[in-house]
Amino acid sequence: MSQNSSAEPVLLPTDQELVLKVIPMPGDCNPNGDIFGGWVMAQVDLAGSVVPGRYTKGRMATVAVNEFVFKQPVRVGDILSFFSKVHRIGRTSITVKIEVYAERHFKQGVYAKVTEALLTYVAIDEHGQPREIPKD
Ligand SMILES: CC(C)(COP(=O)(O)OP(=O)(O)OC[C@H]1O[C@@H](n2cnc3c(N)ncnc32)[C@H](O)[C@@H]1OP(=O)(O)O)[C@@H](O)C(=O)NCCC(=O)NCCS
């Protein structure tokens, strides 16, 4: 697995939905000058919630980050595109796959996959307890 930022460009996925686009700013950096991993995780959590929300039709909570891989660094000014699709639908939970692609600053149209993750969201009731995902 390559960790450098000069890996070959990749094509965007055609079997996943674009759920979020965002550009990190200097205030999102770690001491190395790259974007802080926790900032990327927060964006992935937001992006990941979009598709599950369509099914839960109400309150939900993130219950697990099942997998999270930072494949390449993210830099200030990169245009990040978050793609998502359903991985598994359970009784009260939905697990989604999220892939993040960066268009490097001043290199629009050239994409690098920077992060991939698997997150699980649970539909919850007004007491914060799991509830069944509506059938319709
Ligand atoms: C989400 C929460 C209500 C679930 O309660 P719980 O008692 O653990 O519920 P359950 O054990 O019945 O699990 C509920 C569902 O989550 C799934 N789940 C629980 N832990 C999981 C894990 N580590 N990975 C994947 N799925 C998980 C279960 O399989 C179940 O799904 P299913 O009904 O589709 O099979 C509770 O854990 C909670 O409130 N967590 C905090 C949520 C939160 O604050 N998130 C924001 C983070 S700051």
Region of residue 77 (phi > 0: left; psi between -120 and 50: alpha; otherwise: beta):
left
* pLDDT exceeds 90 at position 127: yes
- On the CB side of 135, CA atoms within 13 Å amount to 0
Q: Is the pTM of this model over 0.85?
A: yes
The whole-chain average pLDDT of the chain stands at 94
Q: What pLDDT sits at residue 6?
A: 57
* pLDDT exceeds 80 at position 5: no
Dihedral of alpha carbons 28, 31, 35, 41, sign:
negative
Cβ 88 under 6 angstroms from ligand 1: no
Q: How many angstroms separate the alpha carbon of residue 92 from the centre of ligand 1?
A: 8
12-48: per-residue pLDDT in tens? 999 999 999 999 999 999 999 999 999 999 999 999 9
Cβ 42 under 6 angstroms from ligand 1: no
Domains of the chain, with CATH numbers?
A: 17-123 (3.10.129.10)
Banded model confidence at residue 78, pLDDT cuts 50, 70, 90: very high
Indicate the top mutation candidate among 122, 124, 131 to test ligand 1's pocket, ranked by most ligand atoms within 8 A of CB.
122
Cβ 66 under 6 angstroms from ligand 1: yes
Q: What pLDDT sits at residue 128?
A: 98
Integer distance in angstroms from the first to the last C-alpha of the chain? 41
Cβ 130 under 6 angstroms from ligand 1: yes
Name the DSSP class of 130: B
Q: How many angstroms separate the alpha carbon of residue 64 from the centre of ligand 1?
A: 7
Region of residue 33 (phi > 0: left; psi between -120 and 50: alpha; otherwise: beta):
left
Closest residue by CA, ligand 1 atom 40: 63
Q: What pLDDT sits at residue 4?
A: 47
Ligand 1 nearest-atom number relative to CA 129: 3
| d(C-alpha 27, C-alpha 43), whole Å | 15
